[in-house]
Amino acid sequence: MKDGTMLSGEEVPAVGDIAQAHGVSVGTPHRAFTQLKNDGLIEVSRGRRAVVHQHWEDSAGAI
């Protein structure tokens, strides 16, 4: 969404895409992904894009 929220089940952009868009090394978004996964906010599966976890929805269905 344009306001920065993501809906449950929505795919998160790839680490490389995030790094390139923000001019940082891939390690920076990779660490963020690790934290988001540890916090249960995203689900990560090998070979697939990360997706927003359904558990953390607010009343509007977005995080």
What is the average pLDDT value for the chain, to the nearest integer?
Answer: 85
Q: Which helix (H) or strand (E) holds 19?
A: helix 15-22
Between CA 42 and CA 34 the distance in angstroms is 9
Q: What is the pLDDT of residue 52?
A: 92
Residue listed under structure tokens 């509007």? 60
Between CA 52 and CA 63 the distance in angstroms is 8
Domains, the chain, in order of start with CATH, read 1-63 (1.10.10.10)
Tens-place pLDDT, residues 37-63? 999 999 988 888 999 987 644 555 555
pLDDT band at 13 (very low <50, low <70, confident <90, very high): very high
pLDDT at 16 over 70: yes
Is the pTM of the predicted complex or chain greater than 0.85? no
Q: What is the pLDDT of residue 60?
A: 54
Rounded-to-5 percentages of helix, strand, coil across the chain: 35, 10, 50
